[in-house]
Structure formats: C-alpha cells, structure tokens
Chains A and B, each alone.
Chain A
Amino acid sequence: MSEYTAKDYKKGQPRWCPGCGDHFFLASLHKAMAEIGVAPHNVAVISGIGCSSRLPHYMATYGMNTIHGRAAAIATGCKVSNPNLSVWQISGDGDGLAIGGNHFIHANRRNIDLKMILLNNRIYGLTKGQYSPTSPRGFVSKSSPYGTVEDPFRPAELCFGARGHFFARAVATDAEGTVNILKSAHAHKGAAVCEILQNCVIFNDGTHEAVYTKEGRAKNAIYLKHGEKMVFGENNEFGLVQEGFGVKVVTIGQDGYTMDDVLVHDAHCEDNTLQLKLAMMEYPVALGVIRDVEAPTYDDAVNAQIEEVKAAKKYHNFAELLETNDTWEVK
C-alpha cells in the first residue's frame, strides 16, 4: 500500500474549460501517482506550452511549464543528470508532435526513462482553434476554412517508427483505463508513450465521440490485456483474428470462427508488426497497453558507462586530469 493519497499530489485550481478532457486526465494522474506511491518530491512533471501543458501547475510535485515543444528535451537533461527522479512529460498533440516532433522521436529512439503523456484532442486549443498534426485530412478549422489538405500523424506509428518500446492508449473520461496505463507506464523502464484521447469542448467537440462514453467504448473499443484473448463488444461477442497479413474483426461463432481462432495479445513481443496493426485500427479502437517491451534505457546506459570508465581510467579529479598531459617545467 502506498503511503500517499491523490490529495498529496494535488495543487491549485485548474483553469481549463468546463468539460475539457484535461480535467479528467489530471484526476486520473493524481490517482495513479498515489497508487504508484513515488514521493511527490521525487517526481518532476515537465510540460511544454498549450492547454494541457498547464498541468504541472496542478501537481504538488517538482515541475516545469517550459517552452513550446521542448518538454521532451528538457526532461531528457533532467532524467539523465538526476536518474533518481520519476520524470513525466506532459504534451498536447501540437506541442508533442508538431513543434516538438523531433524531440518526441529522439526520446523514443534513445529510450530515455520518461513517461511521455500525449494529450490528443486533435486541435490547437490555447491559440483558439487551428488544425493540429493529428487532425484528419479535410478538417475544417480557423486556419483551414476549406479543410486541410494534409494527412495526420498517427502517434503510435510515429512512436513505433522511432523504435518506441512502450505505447498505451486510454480515453480521458475513462478513469480506470487511464490509471491502469499510467501505472503500466511507470512500471516500464524506458520511454513510455501514453496517448490520451480527449475532447476539446470548445474547438473540436466530439472528436473522439465513438469511444468517449462508456457505452461507446463498449461498442467501439477493445481493451487489450497482455496474455488475454482479444475480444470486445457489449457481450464480448467479437474477436480479432489474423487474416493473411492483417487483423480482422469477426463475430465469434459465425462464419466458422471460434474462440480458438481469436488472437491472444502479446504486448511483450519484440516484433511490433501486430502491435502496430492493433494501434492503427479505427474499429475497434485499441485501448490499454499495446506495446511494452524491455530494452536498455539511455539514462542507465549513460550512467553505467561513466562507472565503467571510472573503473578503467586512472584519473578521477581535475588535478589528475592535468597530469595526463605532456608538461614541462620552467625553473
């Protein structure tokens, strides 16, 4: 049992719009932190700029609300130089994937032990309603009055393409699902991307409508659990089976498909092929931990190398460093 409660991580009065997904996520984060039980003074929550990046102000932990897009880079220096901290990066889809896209992929590639939360509402809210890099093609916004003419990033695809080892997804309004993936992300050593699907009531209302309510999720989402059959539907009547190179939705008991044909989820499989297919499904939307594979982390490796070199080299302070040079004496 953790010695902390959600209250120990709470601070201030959030100023997001009523109904904003950020409120739901923040409550889940407080709850998850309490269940994880890392002391608030050993947690650093680091965000960029945007509505969701206000979040560290509502955490009773150490935190930084930095500059647009750079949270992952700032968090990298923080974690590498002080590996005892539990470091959480909070970004929206604009902050994390547009201006911060480069840092997002490199943090994943290096596998730095950062918990990278991506609050995806497919819109720029703080600047009042422009399309984001996750807005679908044709999306109409203030800066795209005739619809966008570009394809969006799909965060999982980007994460996997950058050799990410952890990817999970939850819907902001689903407290239990969110808390579960945050705990799994914390338990995973390495870069852990958590995509939170959330609504923007003002500028992109209904963007994740199909899965935003409990009823909707029952119909349109599948909760993935490692080692369990991938079934979904109000009565678990549907399952995922492999067909050729793809994954297909079938009704169990129809067309000759039985429970034996339904795939078992393997989040730990190093080959991400099927995990990517799951992450990319539009129906059902995959929720839960999609990929969770152990790999050496950058911060561990950096610090381990320092220890190795310390053991191998004979100079360990500045005075000894000077002695490694050719010197001469003026008498």
Chain B
Amino acid sequence: MADNLKVEELDQVVVRFSGDSGDGMQLAGNIFSTISATVGNGICTFPDYPADIRAPQGSLTGVSGFQVSIAADKAFTPGDKCDVLVAMNPAALKTQYKFCKPTSSIIIDVDSFKKADLEKAQFEATDAAGAIAEMGIKQDVIEVPVTSMVKDVLADSGMDPKAMLKCRNMLALGLVCYIFNRDLSIAEKFLREKFAKKPAIAENNIKVIHAGYDFGANTHASVSHTYNVVSKQTPAKKGRYMDINGNKATAYGLIAAAEKAGLRLYLGSYPITPATDVLHELSKHKSLGVTTVQCEDEIAGCASALGASFAGALGVTSTSGPGICLKSEAMNLAVIMELPLVVIDVQRGGPATGLPTKSEQTDLLQCLFGRNGETPMPVIAATSPADCFESAYAACKIALEHMTPVVFMSDAYIANGSEAFKLPNLAEYPAINPPYVPESLKGTWTPYMRDERDVRYWAVPGREGFAHILGGLEKDSKTGAISTNPENHDLMCRLRQSKIDKIQVPDVEVEGDKDDADLLIVGFGGTYGHLHAAMDEMRAAGKKVALAHFRYINPLPKNTAEVMKKYKKVVVAEQNLGQFAAFLRMKVDGFAPAQFNEVKGQPFVVSELVAAFNKLI
C-alpha cells in the first residue's frame, strides 16, 4: 500500500482504458470493474468500440475505449469524464484526451511514443514530452515504460515477443489497481479462471499485473496520490452479485422466462451489431435445451421464431433497427395470428446502416407503428444493463399470457455496458401461464374464441381435437374461417387493439421530489442512469426535480396522464428527435412538454443535461 501518499476518499471515480483495438483494453477494464464490484462498489461500464473491423495499428480510427465508473453506492452512469485515463499509444491519447477533467491523471506507455508511433497518430512531435506539449496537456501525465517493463518481467517466461506484448494491458491494470487501492488477489482469481486451460498464460499475466502495481508503489514521485472508494453497504444491497451487460442479461431473462413457463426457448436470429451477443450467449446454453438457429436472413429469423411459437415453443428473434425493418412482415403476421413472439431490438444509430456500434433511441416509433394495417404491439424498453433481465422476462410473460408479439427494446449502450446484477431467485418471479385451450372446449372450440381479457386460446399442434388453421388473411371472429365481411374486420381490429389495451402494466414510478418538483424529467429505456444522475445533481444543488422513467411504452401505465399533468414543467429527454414526446402527446390530451433531444450516437452527458434542465426552471 502507499504508505506516505495521500489517499483521497471519494464517492465516485471514473477510469477510462484506451488503446489500439488489439491492446486488450476491454479485458483490462472488465477485470478492474469486477474487482471493484467484488469489494461492494457500484459499477457501471461503457465499452466504446471502433466501427472498423481492424483499423491500421496505431491509427486514430482504431482506438478502443472502456470506461468504468465505480461508486460508493449505485453507479448510475459510466461518468461523463474520467479521473484516470490510460492511453496505451499516441492515437489513444489524441482521441481520448477529450474525456479528461482538468484534474485527471493520465497514464501513457512512453515506450509506444516513438517517432513512428507518433506519425501514425498524426503528431508533429517526435517524443512523448513533445506530444504532450503539442496537445497542450496540463494534467499530470504518468509516463510508464510499459512495453519494456513487460519484456523485462517476462524475459524468462519463454514467451515470444509478440505474445509478451499482449500482456501490456495487465501492466496498466496493475498500476491502476495501485492507484485505486484495489486488492490484486481478485484479479489473480479472475485470470486463473479465465485461463484455466492455459495456466502458464494466467501466471505470466499475474506477474505483469504485480509489476504494474509495484511500479506504482515504488515510484511515488510519479504518482501524486491514490484514491479509495469505500463501499456504502445497505441492508437492501445484501446478496450475491455478478457483473452483467445488457445483452447477457437479456439472454438470461429469456432463459428464465422459458423455464418458468415450462417451454422450449427458440431463438431465430441473424448476426447484427450490437445484438449479436444475445445469439452468442443463447447458443452456449444448449444444456438448458435452448435452441438457436442462425438463419439465412433477418426475415427467416423472425419467421422461424413464429413457426416455433405455433409449434408450442417460446419463439424469440433478436436484431437491431435495420433487422426490424425486415422482420416487420412476420411481426405483422404474429399480430393477426395472435401467437406469442418476442422481438428484441438492440437499437443502434440509423437510418440504414447508420452508426452500427453506437447507441440511439431512434427505433421507438418504428417498433410501435412500423407495420401495415392496425397492428398494436406491446413495447417494453429496458432501462439499464441489469434491467434487461427484468424487462426480457416481462416481455416473455406478456407475449405468452396475452398471445401477442412483444417488442423488447434495448440499445447499444446498455447492451454493452455492464453493472452489478443481484442473482435473481426464479422462485420469487411471477408465474407464466399461457392460455392453453382447456380440454373441455374440445368440439366447440374455434381459433378466435377469447377469454375475458380478449385473449384467444393456444392450441399446440399434436393435440387431438384442436387441429386448426391460422394465417395472414382476416378471419371470422366466431368460426375462424377466412372472412372479408366489413363488420367482422372492424370488430377484429378492435379486438386485437383491446387485447393490448387490457394488458396490466405497473404504474410509472416518480422518483425525486415527487410532490413538489418544479421540473419533471421524463425518459424511457436506456437513458435512465443519465437522467437519474442529472436529477441527483440538480437536487444536490437545491433544485426541486423529479424523474418519471418509462419501461412500459405500450400499453402505457395507467397513471401516465396523471403524472404528466401534475407538474408545472415537464421535459421529455430522449436520444432521438422527439419520438417518445410525440407518442405521449398522442396518448395524453393537451400534453405539451419541453424536449431535450440528441442524436449523437453517444450516451447523454450529465453536465449537459443539467445545464439544459436548469434553463427550464
């Protein structure tokens, strides 16, 4: 430990690891967040990948970042800016410096600031000092000879030089662990498990981490102070946790729901960024009976999932916005056939291919309305990485119990970002009871007979006495035969709508100054953390602010209109040009909110939110 150094106690710190996309920054960041979570800190991570498959080494477009915020209590966001920036090469320093605060410490691998490296990042300077001067950097820069130290530490390991260089990230991680007073034993355990089959690699990495840590401890001159973020534990937080990102949590929610419903989980999918990890995750779990089919296209992904539902499975398809365009046809079919189907939309920047690795909320109206005909469909938007589990479970429950396709919306930010996830106990989750047609109806049953919720019954092929046909043509509400009768069609459109309207969803919760707020912030989906952090900051400054954040978009919670009309000033903040605001205006008579809209592909910046919201009060 740092004996003579000042240890600064903080409530929240943010570290950003950055380097070439091959430098292992995501892994270093991941280990650091896991260590912090293990000691009880709140964590929130944000991986920032380049869109290029493999940009030229050392180039400005090839920089990969991983930001992690660790907090004494809950970490709502990965942080606007970082307290420590790790830049493994000049390109990283140049592109990531903008995330630094005036007080940040910057760690660079001075060995990778040679003339040739600097040229690749378009510096005029020929060494690290020159580069720092060229950028006008005033903050502390800790120049660490990462590459040469790694080579020294591993000199006797028998590794070839190329393999040695892959451990540079661990040296940086070791130093960061020193700065934040983190216990290396957790990192050791992590690496030994990750490389269980290659123990030599684990041990070499561990040696390098220690070298980085010791470098910090031995060179007080270059490290002015260290930080400690003490965990503030409350009884409510008690329990076992794991680190989870949104895509994994989504996959887990689907698995949990299928198990609860006693159904086979079928995923029909087609690879697309940033949703592919849902397919990857589910593909691993065949021992749970999960069936994944990587289809020939997005269309078949959705169509085959619907076929699986017809055959009695929980049919799911996963994609991002461009895939929703292609799936809309089969989603439509699911509406008229009234079969369960869960459609996962991990939103990215659009239109078309847009910004494949970046995050937006621009698919909302597409998910709500992007189909022909009257095609109401429940829409649920997950609010955080861990909430993807709850929301995916809820989406499955609604789909199965109300015999309807459901859109589950996530986004690139929560899909790739991670946070601590309390291990759920499935026994405590609500049962999922699909409306199987009762045996007593044999002989009198027709496919569009409905219960009091306007939900039709599910007759799974293989049951004798219930053979029937479904299809895309309008059916008679009583006989189930094809019908073009105008009155019948009007009735069927209303029944399909009424079925969705009758779905019970929880009231939207108002947080903060719910009784006397001067400003109500309204949001939906993945922006929850940022909007909450903005509210906290404003309240800390003495402002009266509340937040109503929506997970259930369609149907809207019953108290929506009441909440929207209760406050003097309402602002709807979203990462699009006003889609949720438009939907609320459509659903709440006379509602005229202020709007905060941004479509940058990046998470909101809390300080910008606060500045904009302050102007409204």
Contacts and interface: CB of A to CB of B under 8 A. Distances in A.
Interface of A: 12, 39-42, 44, 46, 49, 56-57, 59-67, 70, 73-82, 84-85, 102-103, 106, 302, 305-306, 309-310, 312-313, 315-319, 321-322, 325-331
A73 B240 CA distance: 42
Contacts of B289: 306, 310
Contacts of B37: 328
B462 A73 contact: no
B49 interface: no
A82 B461 contact: yes
A305 B300 contact: no
A169 B485 CA distance: 39
Contacts of B241: 327-330
A236 to B, nearest CB: 44
A318 B255 contact: yes
B329 A62 contact: no
A285 B338 CA distance: 44
Contact of B288 (A103, A305, A315, A325): A315
B34 A77 contact: no
B468 interface: yes
A217 B315 CA distance: 46
B75 interface: no
A321 B252 contact: yes
Given A64-B337, A318-B256, A310 B286 contact: yes
Contacts of B264: 81
B363 interface: no
Interface stretch (B303-311, B354-362, B398-406, B521-529): B303-311
14 contacts: A57-B469, A57-B482, A62-B461, A70-B329, A73-B295, A73-B296, A73-B307, A77-B293, A80-B266, A81-B266, A313-B286, A316-B288, A321-B288, A330-B237
B468 A309 contact: no
B291 interface: yes
A165 to B, nearest CB: 18
Contacts of A74: 303-304, 306-307, 310, 330
B193 A76 contact: no
B315 A77 contact: yes
Nearest to A83: B311
Interface of B: 34, 37-38, 40, 189-190, 193, 231, 233, 237-243, 252, 255-256, 259, 264, 266, 268, 285-291, 293, 295-297, 299-300, 303-313, 315, 329-330, 332-333, 337, 423-426, 460-473, 481-482
B463 A41 contact: yes
Contacts of B189: 326
A77 B288 contact: no
B308 A81 contact: yes
B238 A84 contact: no
A129 to B, nearest CB: 21
B375 to A, nearest CB: 13
B467 A41 contact: yes
Q: What's the dominant secondary structure at chain B's contact region?
A: mixed
Contacts of B313: 77, 81-82
A231 to B, nearest CB: 41
A276 to B, nearest CB: 23
Contacts, number: 203
B310 A64 contact: yes
A326 B38 CA distance: 9
Nearest to B296: A106
A330 B293 contact: no
B286 A305 contact: yes
B467 A318 contact: no
Contacts of B311: 44, 77-79, 81-82, 85
Residue of A305, A326, A329 contacting most chain B CB atoms (<10 Å): A326
A75 B240 CA distance: 43
Residue of B293, B297, B309 contacting most chain A CB atoms (<10 Å): B293
A298 to B, nearest CB: 9
Nearest to A82: B311
Contacts of A322: 242, 252, 423-424
B300 A327 contact: no
A136 B515 CA distance: 75
A57 B255 CA distance: 35
A328 B38 contact: yes
B286 A306 contact: yes
Given A67-B329, A102-B297, A103-B300, A61 B467 contact: yes
A132 B240 CA distance: 61
A41 B482 CA distance: 21
A326 B187 CA distance: 12
Contact of A46 (B307, B423, B468): B307
A60 B304 CA distance: 23
B394 to A, nearest CB: 16
Given A82-B462, A326-B34, A327-B240, A76 B307 contact: yes
A158 to B, nearest CB: 14
B266 to A, nearest CB: 5
A77 B469 contact: no
Contact of A73 (B38, B40, B238, B303): B303
Contacts of B40: 328, 330
B252 A62 contact: no
A103 B296 contact: yes
